[in-house]
Amino acid sequence: MRKLAFIHDGPIYYDEYGNYYELAYHGLYNRYRYLADDITFVMRTEKVKNSTRNTLLPKEVHVVHVPNFKTPMKYITSKKAAENIIKDVVKRSDIIVLRNVSSCANIALKYCRKYKKPYIFEVVSDAWKSLWNYSLLGKFMAPYCHIKEKINIYNSKFVYYVTDKYLQKIYPTKGTSIGCSNVLITISNDLAIKRRISKIENFKDMGMNKIVLGTAAAVDVRYKGQADVIRAIPFLLKRGYDIEYLLAGGNRLKSTYLLNLGKKLGVSEYIKFCGSLKAEEMNDFYDRLDIYIQPSRQEGLPRAVIEAMSRGCPVLGTNIAGIPELIQKNMLFHPGNYKEIAEKITFMIHCDLEKISIRNYNKSLEYSADKLENKRNIFYDLFLSEYNFR
């Protein structure tokens, strides 16, 4: 039985009954089964009280807990224990999948090389921006980690990028690579786009004054940029628009910063936290929106943008990372510029929304599960053949 270990910082969440929840790791088990029979996730874990709205991780997946060592004090007290755990997993695994940006993955890479273990390096994010936008300590670490990441990726034999161009340009490799989104969506039939066109017609008939905006991203990660949309709300209200901003992702209890910002600006009543939604609930979330917004200050190729496009949503997003690969240039705005967000929303509702909707839906077809799976498996076949697993 071939064994694979997926190593990342996480965290992955679990409840009092020992159930683990997929969240950001949705669908990885089925994907990695193409490579191995026995799958282990190695990362930090975090206990949650109420996960009824999340998707369960398949019972077949083993989870190995790595202690948190990402603060200065915990680095001193927990780094050695974490390294020993990761080292042990690497030694007894046949294939390792490393995902950046990750301290756990960096440790694992050292032991992959020491024990000559075959590995795939998944590049999903820009290390510099991930750290720079995270904290003061992150700003200090960003230059070193960025250079280290460039060296590690360049020297890896198999590299999986989630963008077509952006991350490849920042982190080139001399190895075999693929540009393939890690999105997992099943494109619905054209009923979704028909419903969207009908919704747009109703939106126009109602005078286009009530605008439902939405973002799907972790509410406790500031570089996801929801605060910038919240800051744009007062400008939209002054223009006479009735705004509702729906936020999907993460626990409301972790959204203190956004809650306090809403109160400070006097716009709390226009913001709704939807919590963590199951994969099958996301279509209903997107269908409620008039405009989907991805205000991230750092990204790879955001899955939520493609999911929203597959429902025919008009989409606005920052002009960073892989987002310009997905939406039109005139629908992009600069990270952190909340006044520009207000301008873009005003601009978009006076555009040909039907045309934008159809364009986005057709673009999302490039990311259908079948197409991406075929493309991904060709890459996996090269990897398996290289190491005589086939």
| Per-residue pLDDT, 75 | 83
Q: What angle do CA 283, 277, 365 make, to 5 degrees?
A: 30
Helix axes 191-205, 353-364, angle to 10 degrees: 160
Higher pLDDT, 384 or 137: 384
Q: Mention every residue, 6+ apart, whose C-beta is less than 8 A from residue 235.
A: 338, 339, 342
Determine which of 47-61, 121-135, 295-309, 364-378 has the lowest per-residue pLDDT on average.
47-61
Is the alpha carbon torsion for 309, 311, 315, 321 positive or negative? negative
CA-wise closest residue to 32 among 52, 9, 61: 61
The full set of domain ranges for the chain reads 3-184+369-386, 191-366
| Per-residue pLDDT, 54 | 64
Please, which pLDDT band fits residue 70 given cuts at 50, 70 and 90?
confident
| Per-residue pLDDT, 100 | 93
Rounded to an integer, the average pLDDT of 12-28 is 80
Higher pLDDT, 55 or 268: 268
Determine which of 72-81, 174-183, 186-195, 374-383 has the lowest per-residue pLDDT on average.
186-195
| Per-residue pLDDT, 183 | 79
Determine which of 127-131, 262-266, 293-297, 307-311 has the lowest per-residue pLDDT on average.
127-131
| Per-residue pLDDT, 26 | 66
Report the top-level CATH class of 191-366: alpha beta
| Per-residue pLDDT, 305 | 97
CB 288 within 8 A of CB 214: yes
Residue 349 has pLDDT above 60, yes or no: yes
- Tell me if the bond preceding 101 is cis, omega within 30° of 0: yes
Rounded to an integer, the average pLDDT of 240-246 is 97
Rounded to an integer, the average pLDDT of 95-103 is 96
List phi, psi (to 5°) of 114: -65, -45
Range 305-308 contact pairs with CB under 8 angstroms and sequence separation of 24 or more: 306/181, 306/183, 306/185, 306/364, 306/367, 307/183, 307/185, 307/216, 307/282, 307/283, 308/214, 308/216, 308/360
Rounded to an integer, the average pLDDT of 163-178 is 96
Q: What does pTM read for this prediction? A: 0.87
Rounded to an integer, the average pLDDT of 364-376 is 91
Please, which pLDDT band fits residue 18 given cuts at 50, 70 and 90?
confident
| Per-residue pLDDT, 95 | 99
Higher pLDDT, 387 or 370: 387
| Per-residue pLDDT, 352 | 96
Residue 184 has pLDDT above 60, yes or no: yes
| Per-residue pLDDT, 185 | 74
Please, which pLDDT band fits residue 188 given cuts at 50, 70 and 90?
low
d(CA 146, CA 128): 5
Please, which pLDDT band fits residue 135 given cuts at 50, 70 and 90?
confident
DSSP β-ladder status, 20-21 and 12-14: antiparallel
Distances (CA, A) of 360 to 319, 363, 372: 17, 5, 18
Distances (CA, A) of 177 to 22, 31, 134, 174, 288: 26, 17, 28, 9, 38
| Per-residue pLDDT, 53 | 53
Which CATH topology does 3-184+369-386 take? Answer: Rossmann fold (3.40.50)
Mean pLDDT of all residues belonging to the chain? 92
Is the alpha carbon torsion for 46, 52, 58, 59 positive or negative? positive
Convert the pLDDT of each residue in 283-297 to its tens digit.
999 999 999 999 999
3: β partners: 38
Most confident of 45-49, 77-81, 231-235, 386-390: 231-235
Residue 151 has pLDDT above 70, yes or no: yes
Convert the pLDDT of each residue in 103-125 to its tens digit.
999 999 999 999 999 999 999 99
Rounded to an integer, the average pLDDT of 71-97 is 94
CB 323 within 8 A of CB 294: yes
